[in-house]
Structure 1
Amino acid sequence: MISGSRMSSRAMRAVYVRKFGAVDQMKVEENVAVPKLEDKQVLVKLYASGVNPVDTYIRSGQYGKLPTIPYVPGKDGAGLVDAVGSGATRFKVGDRVFCSQTVRYGTLAEFTAMDEDHVFPLADSLDFAQGAAIGIPYFTAYKALLLKGRAKKGDRVLVHGASGSVGLAAVQLAKAYGMTVVGTAGTAEGLELVSSQGADAVYNHRDSSYMDKLKKNPETKFDVILEMLSNVNLGHDLELMKPKGRTIIIGCRGPVTINPRDMMGPETEVIGCALFSSTPEEWNLIGERVAEGISSGWVKPVINKIYDLHKAGEAHHDVIHSTGAKGKLVVRVQE
C-alpha cells in the first residue's frame, strides 16, 4: 500500500539524456510517467536539483556504473515528500527533505523515487536550493575529512580548491570541529568566499609561487590535506604533510608522477576517497552527522548560480568549465 498521492494517472516534466555526448542531446520532455514507488521508497516532489561533476562523467560514459539510455540525470535534490511506500517509516507526506544518490531516477525531474535511506530531513532554515546543494558535497567532505582523514580538533587542514562546493563544505566542517584551516582558490572572489566561511588563511592556486609559500615554514605543515586535483598537486602534497599526515584524494583528472621516498621517512599516507563506495554503515553515519550539522548551523550551502530546468545542459557545462568555483550550481526544477 502507498500512502499519499496516486501516481498512476500523473505525469511530469523531466530532463532526458537520449545518448551520451554533447549538451544538445539533453532536453526537457513533457508528460513523463511519475516513477513507480516501491515499498521502502519515498516519492519526492522536487523543487531543486544539485549539479555535480559526476553528472557529466556519467553523461560522457566515463563512469564505472552507467545507466540505461534514456535516463534522467541528477543525484542530489530537495523538495517535499509526496508519497511513501508501505515499508517506509521515517517520513510522512508533506515533510521537507533533501535526497542524494538516486538509484534509478534522477533529480532533474519534478518527481523522483528514492530509497528511504537516501532521504533526509531538511530544516526550515534552509531553502530548497540549499537543500539540493547538501548531498554529494557535504557527504564527501565528511567522509574525506573525518572517516578517511581521521582529522580531529586542533589539526591543521589544507583544502585544495576550497571555493568549490565540496571545498566549502570541508571548510565549514573543519571549523565546526575545531581545526585550523588553510584553503586555496583561483580567483579573488573565491579567496574572499573561502575566507568568509572561516578559513584561517587562503592562497591563490593560480599564483605560481603559492606552493613555495606553503612549503616555506616547515612548522606549518598539515595533518590532513584534502586534494581535489591530485594530478596537479599530489607531488607537492607529499612535501606538505606532517609526519603521519594524510592526503585524501577526492578528485583527479589524469596521471601524476610522485616520489614515494617523500612518504617513507615521515610515514605519511595517501588515501583514495569515493563517496559512492561507502558502506551502508558509513552512509547512515554520514547522514546522521550532516543532519545534525544542519540543526547546529554549520551546514550552510553557498549557492553560486540557479538555472531553469531547460538550461540544465548549460549547468552541466559550467560545473566542469567554470573559470573559478564560487559555490554550488543548482537547477530550479519547478516553482
Structure 2
Amino acid sequence: MAPVLRRRFRRPGPPTIDGMKAIVQERYGSSETLRLRDIDRPSPAAGEVLVRVRAAAVNARDWHIMRGDPMLARLAMPSDFGWTGPKRTVRGSDFAGVVEAVGPGVTTYAPGDEVYGDLREDDGAFAEYARVPLGNLARKPAGLTFAQAAAVPLAGTTALAALRDAGKVRPGQHVLVNGASGGVGTFAVQLAKVFGATVTGVCSTRNAELVAELGADHVVDYTREDFTRSGHRYDVLLDLVGNRSLRACRRALAADGRLVIAGGGVSGGGRPSLVGPMSLVIRANAARLRDKRIVPLSNVPPSPQSLATLREHLEAGEITPAVDRTFPLDRAAEAVRYLEIDHARAKVVITL
C-alpha cells in the first residue's frame, strides 16, 4: 500500500479558556490573509455535534475559496463565495477528531467518539473545535491516525463517486487516472484496483514511484509521454488535471468507454481567473450533448454512506491515505501555500 510520508512541525499552544484558536480570513487574497486568532467556541444545535478537531486536511477547494477563484464562482456558488470575501471566515472542510458535545436530539454519537467528515460549505475545520451536522460525518476508521483519517473525506468521496458512480468501473476493465499522485488521484488508483480494474496512473517523474506503490499496474510520466497519443484505449479515463483537451482524451477512450471529468483546477498563485476550472466543466457538459461517453463530475456532496464505504475499505487494508506533510495550526497558511504553489503530492494535513 502507499507509504505515509510525513514531516512534523511544532504544535500550537493550548486552547483559550473561553474560546478557541482558529484560522480566520476576512477578505480574498493569498495565504497571507489567513490569521490565527482567538474566536468564540461554537455550540452544537439540534442534529449537530461539536468536534474537538485533531487534524484537518487541506484541499484545492480551500485555496479556491481563499482567493475567490474563479471570479465566476462568486456568482455561481453563493453558498461558498461572497463578493469581496468568503461567506464563512474560518477555512477548512475535512476533519478528524473527537466528539466534545452533542446537540439536542442526537443519539447516534456521544462525547468521546472518534469521528471524521467533511463540512463542505459550512467550513470551519481549521480550528480547535467545529460544529458538524450529522449528515457530514461518520465514525473514524479504526487503525488510522487522526491525520490519516482527515486526509480521506473530500478526496476519497470524490474518487469513489468518479469511479463507482460516474465511471461504473467493473472487474477486468482498463482505467487511466490522469493526476494519479494528487489527493483524489491517490485514492482513485487504489479504489480502481479494489474494483478489479487494470490501472494506469499518469503523473510526473518525481511521483512515479509513489503511484506504483499505490498499486498502479502501469505508470505514465507525462513529461515524457502523452497518454492520448500512445495508442492505448481505456474503458474509464478519469481526468483530474484538465491538461489535455476533451478531443485528445476521447482519442484514448474505448468505443464504449467513459471519460469522467473531475478536476482541472490549477493555480499560479496570482490574480483570480475569470472562469478557471469551471470552463472545463462547461465545455464537458456541452460536449456530452454530442458524446454520452463524457461524464462531468462537478460537485460530490459529503454523505455518511460514502464515508462508511470508505471506512470499510480502509479498515480492510484495501486503501490507505498517503500524507505528504503535516503542519501545526499556527502554520496553516504555509500548508495552504505548499499545496497551492509548491504542487504537493498526495495530501497535506494540519494537526492540532
**Which interval holds the TM-score relative to the shorter structure?**
0.7 to 0.9
Distance in 1 (alpha carbons) for counterparts of 2:250 and 2:123:
40
Spell out, residue by residue over 1:213-250, the C-alpha distance to the aligned partner (whole angstroms, 9 max, x if none). x6444xx4111111012253433211000011111111
Match of 1:6 in 2: none
Aligned to 1:252: 264
Secondary structure, counterpart of 1:230 in structure 2: coil
- Mean CA deviation greater in 46-55 or 226-235: 226-235
Q: Deviations over 1:118-160 (max 9, x none)?
A: 1111133100100110111100000011111111111110000
Gap change, CA 1:206 and 1:71, over 3 Å in 2: same
Tell me by how many angstroms 1:321 deviates.
Answer: 1.9
Q: Distance in 2 between matches of 1:94 and 1:299?
A: 26
Question: Which has the larger displacement, 172-181 or 103-112?
Answer: 103-112
Are 2:119 and 2:125, in contact at CA under 8 Å, matched by a contact in 1?
no
Q: What corresponds to 1:104 in structure 2?
A: 122
CA–CA distance in 1 between the matches of 2:49 and 2:97? 12
Counterpart contact for 1:215–1:221, Cα < 8 Å: no
- For 2:244, what is the secondary structure of its paired residue? helix
Correspondent of 2:211 among 177, 194, 212: 194
Alignment of 1:56 with 2:63, yes or no, is yes
Identify the match of residue 53 of structure 2 among 46, 59, 64.
46
Tell me by how many angstroms 1:105 deviates. Answer: 4.5
Alignment pair present for 1:221 and 2:272: no
Separation in structure 2 between the aligned mates of residue 48 and residue 28 of structure 1, nearest angstrom: 16
The DSSP-based 3-state class of the residue aligned with 1:238 is: helix
For the 8 Å contact 2:52–2:98, the answer to whether it is kept is yes
Structure 1 unmatched runs, 5+: 1-8
> Partner letter of residue 330 of structure 1?
V
One-letter code aligned to 1:22: S
> Residue type of the partner of 1:270?
I
Residue 312 of structure 1, aligned match among 332, 343, 347: 332
Tell me how far 1:24 sits from its aligned partner: 1.7
Q: What displacement does 1:90 show? A: 2.1
Q: How many residues align?
A: 310
Secondary structure in structure 2 of the residue aligned to 1:98:
strand
Match of 1:322 in 2: 342
Structure 1 residue 70 displacement after superposition: 5.9
Residue number in structure 2 paired with 1:23: 31
Partner-residue secondary structure (3-state), 1:232 = coil
Q: Does 1:272 align with 2:288?
A: no
- Do the aligned partners of 1:137 and 1:166 also contact (CA within 8 Å) in 2? yes
Other-structure match for 2:272:
none
| Bigger shift: residues 81-90 or 162-171 | 81-90
The Cα shift of 1:99 comes to: 1.4
Provide closer, same or farther for how the CA distance between residues 22 and 326 of structure 1 changes in structure 2, counting only shifts above 3 A.
Answer: closer
After TM superposition, give the deviation of residue 322 of structure 1 in Å. 2.2
Residue number in structure 1 paired with 2:5: none
The corresponding residue for 1:5 is: none
Matched residue type, 2:100: D
Matched, 1:82 2:89: no
Contact 2:262 2:296 in 1 (8 A): yes
SS in 1 for 2:247: helix
Give the unaligned 5+ runs of structure 2. 1-16, 266-275
Aligned pair 1:12/2:20, yes or no? Answer: yes
Residues in 2 aligned to 1:192 and 1:204: alpha-carbon distance in whole angstroms: 11
Distance 1:261 1:84, change over 3 A: closer
CA 1:243 to 1:35, structure 2 compared with 1: closer, same or farther past 3 Å? same
TM-align CA RMSD: 2.4
Work out the CA distance in 2 between the residues paired with 1:33 and 1:262: 47
8 Å CA contact retained: 1:227, 1:233: no
Report the secondary structure of 1:244's partner residue.
Answer: strand
Q: Deviations over 1:32-78 (max 9, x none)?
A: 11112111001110011100000111111234232655610000011
Amino acid at match of 1:239: R
Q: How big is the shift at 1:104? A: 3.3
**Cα pair 1:19 1:70 within 8 Å, conserved:** no
CA distance in 1, matches of 2:288, 2:101: 55
CA distance in 2, matches of 1:48, 1:148: 30
How far apart are residue 87 of structure 1 and its match? 2.1
Cα offset for 1:261?
10
Task: Give the counterpart letter for 1:11 in structure 2.
Answer: G
CA distance in 2, matches of 1:216, 1:184: 12
Distance 1:70 1:105 in 2: 7
Question: Which letter maps to 1:230?
Answer: G
Are residues 1:139 and 2:151 paired? no
In structure 2, C-alpha distance between the alignment counterparts of 1:262 and 1:91, rounded to whole Å: 43
Q: Verify the 8 A CA contact 2:60 2:339 in the aligned structure 1.
A: yes
Q: Could you tell me which amino acid in structure 2 is paired with residue 269 of structure 1? A: R
